[in-house]
Structure 1
Amino acid sequence: MKQGRGRGQDQSGDSERQQRGATVIDVAARAGVSAMTVSRVINGQGRVKAETREAVERAIAELAYVPNVAARSLVRSTELRIGVVYSNPSATFMSDFLTGVYEEASARGARLILVKGEGGQPPSEESLRELVRSGVLGVLVTPPLGESPRVLRILGEAGLPIAAVGAYGTTGVIRVRIDDRKAACEITRLLIGLGHRRIGFVLGNPDQSASAERMAGFHDAVREVEGVETMVVAGDYRYESGLVAGEQLLGSDNPPTAIFASNDEMAAAVVSVAHRRQLHVPDELTVVGFDDTTAAVMLWPPLTTVHQPVHRLAKEALGLLVRKIASGADGAAEGRDVILDHEIVVRQSSAPPSGGSARG
């Protein structure tokens, strides 16, 4: 499939290529791999699968490509192009993330090529393969796509180095995240320490490991104290899901006195539901979130939340990716796990319970 598509596109440009001569990018497009993989085959460096090497060598022969001195140092001779694959349903998370990525890219002289999926879903396979053919030297992936088998398979087959923010358990990938379980446990302890014994929890995206880690941290803290009652409802990190979750929790027969939502946008939605029900936050209901994005301070009262350094996570991931590209390390080499510090930020949305339940 990859080779057939490449040949069809190359045939239409044969006359132009004969005039200017084939390039590394042309070879990469014909073979269906990254330009960095072509460079490894030419230079005999790094680990390249036999099947991939054969495809590259066949493309070199078909295109009559002649490596030159510049091509032998691809990182120096080619513009530093980095792909950014994203589809995060939280607008405030993506705003902070992309700010960090752009700052780091500017500092390193990198050009970013963005590929977007919709609604938390991966981009199409064709979009991803087009990204590979564009000559990017590495790819930065946002949650939840850092755990998407399809995304990782397509990029991995091309031999591209990958950095994923917020990902767990993926191999051969640079992973940059915080300790979600520990952070969730700490903010739940805060609620229990304030005296809350009926606590609601709003789940995040069920396809994302960080969501399970945050729920595990919530239960870790609850198990430490006798007599804590919990209510867990579904969410997916979108504001709309927080509205539904807030109605479920506050409309129950014995509603919680505190609600921990797995991100700030859902927490902001819960506050909106509380206001609609004429509940005063925090006197009658405590609400806390996770991430410390701009959503945490754009409502009243501002949220008590877990500060996840989204801006720094993005910069760190891009920096590590660029260093891996510069080192010439194989894209499929063993990955690494980088865990940054988090912080509990206490604002005006949390207080001891008033003595009665939140009014339904």
Structure 2
Amino acid sequence: MRVTIYDVADKAGVSIATVSKVINNTGKIRDSTRQKVWNVMKELNYQPSVMASALTGKSTETLGLLVPDISNPFFSELARTIEDRSHEQGLSVIMCSTDDNEEKEKKYLELLQRKQVDGLIIASSFNDRNLLKQLVKQNIPLVMLTQDDPSLGVTCISVDDFSGGFEATSHLLSLGHENIAILAENTSSSKMRIFGSRDAYETFGLTFNDSRIIRTTASVANGKNCLDHILEYNPATTAIFACNDQLAIGVLQRAKERGIVVPDKLSIVGFDNTILAETTVPSLTTVAQPIKEMGSKVVDLILETIKKQVQPKERILYNPELIIRETTSKCR
């Protein structure tokens, strides 16, 4: 159970009012008593940021959402779905973009706790897992989204990245492409997508070459730079599997700038199936994640966790779907 202000008062041998005065730095209290209360709060891992909520016992009807990059269309679409579903349930959402920065992660977690949110949705990869473990230890309602971490002992919702990588690469191999470059991020999801690609090569009786993997961060600009690198160091490449749509779109734009006809001279597959995938010319072949289903489900689960005050330990894995459009064709 979550530690409450009553536990602090009992452990410190003082009244609840005294603990409240220490928290809010009000009233005349001996320094020794004040220090004793703070020591107990530290011992019980009781954060001042959540104390007001524990004291009043009231719900703020607010959820906290952490994403790595709100400019990424996948996360912006996911956040919109979460907000819409929360609104249907009478809740508000405070969203923070961490930029995969450890300092920002800590800062925003502290902010959300000060705002006394009822529960947290973590869609960011998160560098300092100890911060999340502390939240779990306090039994603060928490659900991981797009990030699967069994060590936390909380519910994780994600897509089957291994299957998605397998389907994307199998599609290209079936078209006769063998020299396929892979653009990936330094994330667990990209890692699983690469494993899926490797398995596809083995299934087709071919050898997977790790030198074809280029690791970068998700942006259109980086997708452009990656194609420049590929054309310089591996000009025999006939296809590219990008582990997200942003990188794929960057490749597509650079190919057009360099006069490379897609898909006649270069086939491209992305991952996510964001709204941008349908608006490119030619339209992007990509692996779809069920964004609306995942966003709605995570809100329903966090509400269930808040209501029952028990941290469930489910692993929900959605199946991705390969959407074949106009950026892939037979290898010529």
TM-score, L = length of structure 1: 0.74
Q: Using the alignment, how far apart are the partners of 1:186 and 1:256 within structure 2?
A: 19
Q: Distance in 2 between matches of 1:90 and 1:290?
A: 16
- How far did 1:131 drift? 1.6
> 2:143 is matched by which residue type in structure 1?
A
User: Are positions 1:313 and 2:294 aligned together?
Assistant: yes
The amino acid across from 1:351 in the alignment is S
Relative to 1, partners in 2 of residues 1:112 and 1:224: Cα closer, same or farther, differing over 3 Å?
same
CA RMSD across the alignment: 3.1
Deviation at 1:110, TM superposition (A): 1.0
Give the superposition deviation at 1:158. Answer: 3.9
Q: Which one is further off, 280-289 or 122-131?
A: 122-131
1:241 and 2:222 correspond: yes
Aligned match of 1:107:
88
Q: For 1:8-47, what aligned pairs fall within 5 Å after superposition?
A: 10-11=24-25
Give the AA of the match of 1:292: N
CA distance, structure 1, for counterparts of residue 111 and residue 190 of structure 2:
31
For 1:77-132, what per-residue CA distance to the aligned partner results, in whole angstroms no more than 9, with x for missing partners? Answer: 52322111222265201221111111110111112122332x32242524322321
Partner of 2:144: 164
Q: What is the CA–CA distance in structure 1 between the aligned matches of 2:213 and 2:154, rounded to whole Å?
A: 32
1:91 pairs with 59, 72, 79, which one?
72
Partner in structure 1 of residue 34 of structure 2 = none
Cα offsets for 1:276-312 (capped at 9, x unmatched):
2211000111000000011212211111010011232
Write the distance in 2 (CA, Å) between the matches of 1:160 and 1:31: 19
Amino acid at match of 1:11: N
Greater than 6 Å deviation, 4+ residue runs: 6-9, 29-33
Equivalent residue for 2:256, pick from 275, 278, 285: 275
Q: 1-side partners of 2:54 and 2:297: how far apart? A: 37
For 2:252 and 2:243, the matched residues in 1 are separated by 14
Indicate the percent of aligned positions where both proteins have the same amino acid: 22
**CA–CA separation in structure 2 for the residues paired with 1:272 and 1:111:** 38
Q: Is 2:305–2:312's contact at 8 Å kept on the other side of the alignment?
A: no
Q: CA deviation at 1:227?
A: 4.6
Q: How far apart, in 2, do the equivalents of 1:7 and 1:124 lie?
A: 29
Structure 2 gaps of 5+ residues are: 1-7, 9-19, 29-37
Q: Distance in 2 between matches of 1:124 and 1:66?
A: 23
Q: Is the 8 A contact 1:82 1:136 kept in 2?
A: yes
- Per-residue deviation, 1:30: 12
Q: Secondary structure at the match of 2:282?
A: coil
Which of 44, 69, 74 aligns to 1:52? It is: 44
1:215 and 2:229 aligned? no
Equivalent of 1:225, from 204, 211, 219? 204
User: How many residues are paired up?
Assistant: 299
Q: Which residue is equivalent to 1:200?
A: 181
Q: 1:249 to 1:7 in 2, by over 3 A?
A: farther
| SS of structure 2 residue aligned to 1:339 | strand
Give the match for residue 42 of structure 1: none
CA distance in 2, matches of 1:30, 1:116: 33
The whole-number CA distance in structure 2 between the counterparts of 1:150 and 1:87 is: 18
Provide the C-alpha distance between the structure 2 equivalents of 1:30 and 1:320, rounded to a whole number of angstroms: 35
> Structure 1 residue 175: deviation in Å?
0.6
Post-superposition offset of 1:241: 2.1
Inter-CA distance 66–84: structure 2 relative to 1 (3 Å threshold):
closer
The one-letter code of the counterpart of 1:273 is R
Q: What SS does the aligned partner of 1:105 have?
A: helix
The alignment status of 1:341 with 2:322, answered yes or no, reads no
Which position in structure 1 is the counterpart of 2:35? none
Amino acid at match of 2:323: V
Question: Partner of 1:223: helix, strand, or coil?
Answer: helix
Question: How many angstroms apart in 2 are the aligned matches of 1:328 and 1:96?
Answer: 29
Amino acid corresponding to residue 182 of structure 1 in structure 2:
S
Contact 1:115/1:128, CA 8 A, preserved across alignment: no
| Structure 1: runs of 5+ lacking an equivalent | 16-28, 34-50, 355-360
C-alpha displacement at 1:264, in angstroms? Answer: 0.5
Does the 8 A contact of 1:197 with 1:229 survive in 2?
no
Distance 1:7 1:86 in 2: 35
Deviation string 1:233-257 (CA, Å, 9 cap, x unpaired) is 1122222222221111122353311
Q: Distance in 2 between matches of 1:213 and 1:261?
A: 13
TM-score (norm 2): 0.80
**Mapped partners of 1:66, 1:164: distance in 2:** 23
Q: Which amino acid aligns with 1:238?
A: S
Contact 2:219 2:250 in 1 (8 A): no
Measured against aligned partners, the alpha-carbon deviations of 1:48-88 in whole angstroms (never above 9, x if no partner) come to xxx438x59xx99xx9x998xxx6xx5xx523221112222
Alpha-carbon shift at residue 8 of structure 1 (Å):
7.2
CA contact (8 A) 1:233 1:245 kept: yes
Counterpart of 1:350 in structure 2 is: 328
Q: Distance in 1 between the 2:180 and 2:115 partners?
A: 50
Comparing 248-257 with 339-348, greater Cα deviation is found at 248-257
Partner residue in 2 for 1:153: 133
